[in-house]
Chain A
Amino acid sequence: MNTMAIMITACAALSMRPPDATNEPQLARIHLVTGGRQHVCRVLGRDARSVTIARTLDGGGTATENYLTQQIAALVFPRPASLAALETQRVAGVALDRMLSNVTAELAAQLDYADIRGSWAAPLAFERARLLERAGRHRAALALYTNLPGVAFHPDLPRAARLRTAVCAFLLGRQSNALVRLEGALAEARSDAERAEAHYYIGCARARLGDHTGALFSLLRNVVFYAAEKPWEAESLAAALPAYAALGQRDAFEAACRALLCRFPDSPHAYTATNALHAAQAGSNLTSLVSFPHSPLEASQ
C-alpha cells in the first residue's frame, strides 16, 4: 500500500460503497496530488475497500497502484484562488483583463476534471462568462452560459445561468426572445438581487418594444422594493426617464431626475439628470432629452 500522504479528489463513491450500488457517475479518472504535484490517474478498478489506479510516471511508463479508501485524507478539490475574489463585477480595464486571464487559466486546468464531483469547472466557467459579460463580449458569454461544463454537480448554476443568458440575449439585441427568457428567469429568481436585475432588463426590453407603460411598471419595482440591491435602483430610475418622456409624464420625469440627484449624486446618471431636469423645467421636449440605455455598462461609460 502506498503510504504517501495523498489528497485524492474524486467522487464520494470512492468511499465505502461498490460502484454498482450508487447513482453517482462512474469514475474513469481521479486527481492525485503528491509531493505538491498533480497527477491525473486512470481508475482501473475498485471495490468496497480499495481502488486501483494507473499513474503515469515522470520518466515514462505507468505504475499500477492500490490505495485503501480509509487512507484517503480528504476528497476535495482546492478552491481556486480566483473564485475567492469578491465583487468581480466591479473591476474594469487592466484589472478586468488580468482577472479574466486568471480565471481562463484556472478553468482550462479544471476542464479535465469536469466530470468529477468536487470539480470547480462549472463555477469557474460561470465566473469566466461573467467576466466576459463585464468586458462586453456578450456573444462569447452567452455561448459559455449555455454550455457550462460539469454543471451536474452544481445544481443551482443552470438556473443562475438562465438569467445571464437572458441578459446577454437582451444586450445582443434579441428583444422579443430576450423578454420571454427574462420573464422565465424572473419566475425562477431566488433572491432580491436576481429579481432586481431581471426587472431592470425586462423594463428595458419592454421599452424597446414600445411598451412604455409595461416598462415603467417593471423598472419602478426596483425603486419601490429593491432599493438595497445595487446598482439597480439608480439604473432603473435612469432607464425610466425615456419611458416617462415617451408617455409625456413630465411631473414623473422631473421627480425621477430629482430622485437620481438626491440619492445618487456621485453616479454617472446624476449629470444626465441635472441637465435633463433643467431642460425639462425650461419647457423642452422631453423625448429629446434622454435616450434609452443599452446596458448599465453603456450608461456608466
Chain B
Amino acid sequence: MDAETLYRAAFRAFNAGEYDAAARHFGEFASRYAAEPEMQQAMPHVYYALGCAQYNTRQMQPAIEAFNEHLKRDPKSAFRAEVMFRIGNAQFAGRNYADAVMQYQQLLREFPSAGVRDDARFQLAVALLLQEQYSNAIPLLAALSADTADAARAGAARAYHAQAAFAAGRHDECLRVLRTACAEGMPPDHLILLSTLALQLGDAFYESYELEKALDAYRCVLHRDELLRRQEARLGALAAECRRLERMPRTDLAAFAQLERAGLLEAQARDQIATLSAQGDFDTSWLMRLGRCLYEMGALWEACIAFQELVRSHPASELAPGAHASLLYCLAQMRLFDEVIREADAFVACHPGHPQAPQAAFLKCEALVNAERFDQAEQALIALLDSHPGHPARDRAAFYLHLSQAMQEKFPEARAGLAAWLAEPGHSNSAVRIDVEYWQAMAAVFSGDYSNAQPLVEAFLSRHPDAVYAPDMAYRLGVVHYMRGQYRNAAMALVKFVRGHPDHPMIWEARVLRGDALAAMGELGIALSAYAEAGPDSGPYYHYAVAQRGKCHKALEDFTNMVALYEGYITNVADSPNVVEGIYWLGWAHRRLGHAGAAREAYWSALLTYGNRKDWQGFEQILGDMRSLYPGSNGVAELAMRLEDESDAARSKGRLTLGSRLDIARARLYEKEKRAADAREAAAAFAARYTTNVLGPDGLLFLATRTAVSNRGDSCAAVLHLLARAFPASAQCAEAEMLLARRARAEGDLDACGRLVASAAAKAQEVSVALEITMEKARWLAASDRLREAIAAYEEVLANKAARGPLWPEALYGIAAAYEAMRDFRAAIPYYQRIYVMYAGHAQLAAQAYYHSGRCFERMGDVSAAIRTFKELAEDERFAAAPETARAQERLSSLLASNTQ
C-alpha cells in the first residue's frame, strides 16, 4: 500500500476499533516514512495514533516509545497531558513505578488543572504506595478519599490510605480511616483488603496492649460468609456491567475505558473470592482474637459471644477447644451456672482427651455447687476425683464434695470427709483450708453435736480472728453455748457478737437468742432489754421477741407492762395473723390486773376492728377467749345481748361480714347453752340476712352446715365450693373440702372424693379437722375396695389421742367392716366386740357392731357364738329401737330352728 492508502487504512482500522490492525498499519507507516521530510507534519499524529492503538492492545512498552516519539516531535501537542498520563499508566502497568511516579509528577506540574488530574493523582499515590513511599502517598490518598465527585475512586483511595498508614506504622491513622470506612460504607471493591487490614491492625494494637483500639479494629472485620456474599454480588454487578459495555461501539472511548476498568475490577474480585475461599480459617482466627481481646477488657458477655460463635460455627477447627475452654471460664466468672454446666458437658463430650477436659469437669462441679444442686454436685465430684486423681484442684474438689454432703444434711459423711481432708498432709497449705475448717465446725453445729462443735468453733476463732467467717463463727459460739445449757457463756458470747457486728445478717437471731439465754439464767429484767432490741423492723423475730417479753412479764407478774407491751404490739402488727395472739394476751393481762371490763373491751375492740375483713382468721379464737369474761347465766345473756346489739349496729353501717360473724357467735352460744329453738331461729335469720358474697370462710361454712340453704336456692355443695375457691388458704377450706368429699362419696363419685380428700389433707390446720379428714380418707379407701389401706388409715386415727370421742368407735367399726369385707371374720370380731363393750353409749354403732359380730360368727360356722351374740343384742333394752335388733331376732329364730333340726 502507498502512504496515503496505508494511512487511511490505519485510521479506518482505528476508528472501527480494530486496534491490532491499526497498530500494525501505523507501525508500518512510521517505520517507512518517519524520516521522510514530507511526512514530518503528519508523524506526530501517526505516533500518537500508534501509541493509542498499542496502548489499547496492552503493548505497553511500544506504546511508551510511540508516545515519547510523539512528544518529541510535537512538544506542544494538544494531547500532551493525555499522552503523559498514558505513558505513566503504561509504566505503571509494566511495574516501572519509579518512572511512573516521575511521569505523573511531571504531568501534574505541567498541567495542574488537566481533566485527568485526579486520575493521575490516584495513580501517583498508588505507585508511591507500591514503592513503599508511604509518607508521600498518604497525603494524596487522604485528599482523594474526601473527593465526593467519584465515589469509586474515593473508596479505593480510602482503602489504600488505610493500607499505607498501616504499612507506615501509623496505626492510629489507619484505625481512623477504617472507622470512617465502616461508618460511611465500605468500598465494595476493597472489602477483603479492609477486613484483612483490620484484622492485622487489631493484632498490632493487641500486642501493644492497646485493647480498646484493638477491639475497634476487630469490629471493622466482616466475617467470611458476608465478605464472600458481598464480593459475589459485586462480581455479578461487574460482570453485568462488562457485558453491557462490550455491547457498546468500540469507538466509544469512554465506554472502552470503563470496560477496561470494570474488567480489571472483575478480575480483582475473582482473585479475592478465590483467595478468601481458600482461607478456611479466616473467621476462626478473627473470632479467637476478638474473644481474647474482649475477655481481657472485662467485656465477658461479648467475649462469650465471640467464643460461642467459634465453637458453634467451626466445631472442627483446631481453635475450637481453646475457644470452648475460654467460653467456660467466662461463663463461670459471670456466674451463669446453668450455662457453665451445659457447656462443660458439651466440652467433655466433644473433647474428652483434651488437656482442658478435667478443668471443664471441675468447672461444672463448681457450678453445681454454686447453683445449690448439691446432690448432682456430689455425684459429679465423686466421678471427677475418681477419674482425675491428680487434678490440680483436687483439694478444692474434695472440699466441695464434703460441703455438698453437708448441705444435703449427710452430716456423718461430711464430717468424716472434712476431718480426713484436714488430716491430709498435702492440704496444709491449701487455699481452701480455712473454708474446710469453717464447714467442719458448721457441720458439727448443724448436726446437733454441740459438744464437739464447741472446740471446733473456738479453735477457728482462735486461729482466724480476722477471717471473713469470723463474725458468723462468733455467733455460732453463742448458739453452741446456749444449746449446751451454758447460758452465761452464751449471753456473753452473743452480746459480744451483737456489739461487734450490728449489721450481720444473723443480728436479730442473736439478739433474741441472747434474750433466751438471759431468761434461762433467770435474768428476766436484762432479758427484757435484750428482747426489746428486736423491734418491728426485725421481721419475724419481732413476734417471737414480743412473745418472750410477754412470758417474762408474766413470770415477773408485771401485768401492767404486759398490757403496754401487747397494746403496742397490736398497733404494730395490725395486718399480721399474729395479732390474734397479741389480743389474747392483752386480754389475759387485763384480767390478771382485775380489769375484766378492760379485757372485754380489748377483745371487743379487736373483733369490731378486724371482724369485717373476710380473710381475717382470728374471730373465733378471740370470741372463745372472751366467753370466759361473761360467766354464769347472766353473763351468757349479757353476751348474747351484746352480740345482737353489735350485729345490728354492724349491719346498719353496712359491715355485713362482721354482722354475720356476730350472728354466728350468738347461734353457737345458744347451741352451747342447749337453747335449741333460739339456735335454730338464729341460724334461720342468718340464712335470710346474708348473701354468700359478704361472708368470710367461717360464715360460708356455717351457712353450708347449719342452715336450710335450699330456702334461698343455694345448695350446700355450691357454698362449699365457693369457700374452697375463694379462701383456699383459710382454716375452713380443709373442712369444706372434706364435706364435699363426703358428699361425692355418697353420690358414688369416688374419683372426686379421692381428689378432695387429698386436697383437704394438705390444707388441714387443726388436729380435729385433720382427723376427720383421715376418717373420710379411710371411708373413701374402703368404698374404693382398697381395704388394707383403709384399715391403715383407721389405725392412724386410733393412734391419735386427740381422736377420742366419736371418732374412735367409728374407726374401730371401719376396721372391723373392712376385715369382714375381706372375709377375715376372725380379725373382724374383736373390733366389733370392742365397740359394744366400750362404746355402748354410741347406741346405733354398738347395735350394728353386735349384729355384724353375730353374722361373722355365723359365717365362721360358730353357730352357738352367733346365737349368743344375737340373743344379747335382742335382749338389751338400750338397743331395742335399733333396726339391727329386729334383724338379729330374725337370724336368731332361723339359727335356733336349724339347730333343733
Query: Which listed residue, B298, B300, B336, touches A213 by the CB 8 Å rule?
Result: B336
Q: Quick check: B302 and A213 within 8 Å, CB to CB?
A: no
CB within 8 Å for A190 and B305 given contacts A227-B182, A228-B186:
no
Q: How far is the CA of A216 from the CA of B309 in the complex (A)?
A: 15
CB within 8 Å for A213 and B306 given contacts A191-B226, A228-B186:
no
Q: How far is the CA of A251 from the CA of B335 in the complex (A)?
A: 14
A255 at the interface (CB under 8 A from B): yes
By beta carbon, the residue of chain B nearest A190 is B229
A-side contacts of B305, CB under 8 Å:
217, 220-221, 224-225
Q: How far is the CA of A106 from the CA of B641 in the complex (A)?
A: 88
Q: Which B residues, 199 to 237, have Cβ-Cβ distances below 8 Å to chain A?
A: 219-220, 222-223, 226, 229
Q: Quick check: B182 and A224 within 8 Å, CB to CB?
A: no
B339 at the interface (CB under 8 A from A): yes
* Interface of B (DSSP majority class): helix
Q: Quick check: A213 and B339 within 8 Å, CB to CB?
A: yes
1/0 contact string of B302-326 vs chain A (CB within 8 Å): 1011101100000000000000000
Q: Which A residues, 165 to 195, have Cβ-Cβ distances below 8 Å to chain B?
A: 190-192
Q: Quick check: B302 and A223 within 8 Å, CB to CB?
A: yes
Q: How far is the CA of A190 from the CA of B220 in the complex (A)?
A: 19
B-side contacts of A252, CB under 8 Å:
299-301
By beta carbon, the residue of chain B nearest A221 is B305
1/0 contact string of A8-21 vs chain B (CB within 8 Å): 00000000000000
Q: Quick check: A224 and B302 within 8 Å, CB to CB?
A: yes
Query: Which listed residue, A224, A228, A251, A255, touches B306 by the CB 8 Å rule?
Result: A224
B290 at the interface (CB under 8 A from A): yes
Q: How far is the CA of A192 from the CA of B219 in the complex (A)?
A: 13
B-side contacts of A251, CB under 8 Å:
298
B662 at the interface (CB under 8 A from A): no
CB within 8 Å for A224 and B290 given contacts A213-B339, A252-B301, A255-B299:
yes
Q: Quick check: B301 and A220 within 8 Å, CB to CB?
A: yes
A-side contacts of B226, CB under 8 Å:
191-192
* Nearest CB of B to A76, in Å: 15
B-side contacts of A255, CB under 8 Å:
298-299
B144 at the interface (CB under 8 A from A): no
CB within 8 Å for A220 and B229 given contacts A192-B222, A213-B339, A227-B182:
no
1/0 contact string of B266-307 vs chain A (CB within 8 Å): 000000000000000000000000100010001111101110
By beta carbon, the residue of chain B nearest A216 is B301
Q: Which B residues, 157 to 192, have Cβ-Cβ distances below 8 Å to chain A?
A: 182, 186
Query: Which listed residue, A190, A192, A217, touches B304 by the CB 8 Å rule?
Result: A217
A-side contacts of B219, CB under 8 Å:
224, 227
B-side contacts of A192, CB under 8 Å:
222-223, 226
B-side contacts of A228, CB under 8 Å:
182, 186, 220, 222
A-side contacts of B229, CB under 8 Å:
190-191
Q: How far is the CA of A239 from the CA of B301 in the complex (A)?
A: 15
Q: Which A residues, 189 to 246, have Cβ-Cβ distances below 8 Å to chain B?
A: 190-192, 213, 216-217, 220-221, 223-225, 227-228
Q: How far is the CA of A251 from the CA of B306 in the complex (A)?
A: 20
A-side contacts of B294, CB under 8 Å:
224
By beta carbon, the residue of chain B nearest A244 is B301
A-side contacts of B301, CB under 8 Å:
216-217, 220, 252
Q: How far is the CA of A251 from the CA of B334 in the complex (A)?
A: 11
Q: How far is the CA of A225 from the CA of B298 in the complex (A)?
A: 18
A-side contacts of B304, CB under 8 Å:
217
* Nearest CB of A to B173, in Å: 20
1/0 contact string of B228-260 vs chain A (CB within 8 Å): 010000000000000000000000000000000
B-side contacts of A217, CB under 8 Å:
301, 304-305, 308
By beta carbon, the residue of chain A nearest B304 is A217
Q: How far is the CA of A224 from the CA of B302 in the complex (A)?
A: 6
A-side contacts of B336, CB under 8 Å:
213
Q: Quick check: A225 and B309 within 8 Å, CB to CB?
A: yes
B-side contacts of A227, CB under 8 Å:
182, 219
Q: How far is the CA of A237 from the CA of B830 in the complex (A)?
A: 81
* Nearest CB of A to B236, in Å: 14
1/0 contact string of A246-261 vs chain B (CB within 8 Å): 0000011001000000
By beta carbon, the residue of chain A nearest B290 is A224
B-side contacts of A191, CB under 8 Å:
226, 229
Q: How far is the CA of A252 from the CA of B186 in the complex (A)?
A: 30
B-side contacts of A220, CB under 8 Å:
301-302, 305
Q: How far is the CA of A206 from the CA of B298 in the complex (A)?
A: 25
* Nearest CB of B to A8, in Å: 22
Q: How far is the CA of A26 from the CA of B306 in the complex (A)?
A: 52
* Nearest CB of A to B306, in Å: 6
B-side contacts of A190, CB under 8 Å:
229
B-side contacts of A221, CB under 8 Å:
305, 309
* Nearest CB of A to B483, in Å: 37
Q: How far is the CA of A251 from the CA of B333 in the complex (A)?
A: 13
* Nearest CB of B to A225, in Å: 7
By beta carbon, the residue of chain A nearest B339 is A213
A-side contacts of B298, CB under 8 Å:
251, 255
* Nearest CB of A to B337, in Å: 11
* Nearest CB of B to A90, in Å: 15
Q: How far is the CA of A220 from the CA of B299 in the complex (A)?
A: 11
By beta carbon, the residue of chain B nearest A262 is B212
By beta carbon, the residue of chain B nearest A227 is B219
Query: Which listed residue, B182, B223, B299, B339, touches A225 by the CB 8 Å rule?
Result: B223
Q: How far is the CA of A190 from the CA of B230 in the complex (A)?
A: 10
By beta carbon, the residue of chain A nearest B186 is A228
Q: How far is the CA of A225 from the CA of B223 in the complex (A)?
A: 8
* Nearest CB of B to A227, in Å: 5
Q: How far is the CA of A217 from the CA of B304 in the complex (A)?
A: 8
Q: How far is the CA of A228 from the CA of B301 in the complex (A)?
A: 19
Q: How far is the CA of A190 from the CA of B226 in the complex (A)?
A: 8
A-side contacts of B302, CB under 8 Å:
220, 223-224
A-side contacts of B309, CB under 8 Å:
221, 225
A-side contacts of B308, CB under 8 Å:
217
By beta carbon, the residue of chain A nearest B183 is A228
By beta carbon, the residue of chain B nearest A233 is B219
Q: Which A residues, 125 to 183, have Cβ-Cβ distances below 8 Å to chain B?
A: none
By beta carbon, the residue of chain A nearest B233 is A191
Q: How far is the CA of A220 from the CA of B306 in the complex (A)?
A: 10
B-side contacts of A223, CB under 8 Å:
302
1/0 contact string of B329-350 vs chain A (CB within 8 Å): 0000000100100000000000
A-side contacts of B339, CB under 8 Å:
213
A-side contacts of B182, CB under 8 Å:
227-228
Q: How far is the CA of A227 from the CA of B222 in the complex (A)?
A: 10
A-side contacts of B299, CB under 8 Å:
252, 255
Q: How far is the CA of A275 from the CA of B667 in the complex (A)?
A: 65
Q: How far is the CA of A220 from the CA of B336 in the complex (A)?
A: 16
* Nearest CB of B to A210, in Å: 14
* Nearest CB of A to B709, in Å: 45
Q: How far is the CA of A191 from the CA of B232 in the complex (A)?
A: 12
Q: How far is the CA of A151 from the CA of B700 in the complex (A)?
A: 65
A-side contacts of B300, CB under 8 Å:
252
1/0 contact string of A51-95 vs chain B (CB within 8 Å): 000000000000000000000000000000000000000000000
Q: How far is the CA of A213 from the CA of B304 in the complex (A)?
A: 12
* Nearest CB of A to B314, in Å: 14
B-side contacts of A224, CB under 8 Å:
219, 290, 294, 302, 305-306
A-side contacts of B290, CB under 8 Å:
224
Top 10 closest A-B pairs, CB basis?
Answer: A227-B219, A224-B305, A192-B226, A224-B302, A228-B182, A220-B301, A220-B305, A220-B302, A221-B305, A216-B301
CB<8 Å pairs between A and B, sample of 16: A192-B226, A217-B305, A220-B301, A220-B305, A224-B219, A224-B290, A224-B294, A224-B306, A225-B223, A225-B309, A227-B219, A228-B186, A251-B298, A252-B299, A252-B300, A252-B301
A residues whose Cβ falls under 8 Å from a Cβ of B: 190-192, 213, 216-217, 220-221, 223-225, 227-228, 251-252, 255
User: 6 other contacts beyond A228-B220, A252-B299, A255-B298, with CB at 8 A cut-off?
Assistant: A192-B223, A217-B308, A220-B305, A224-B219, A224-B305, A224-B306
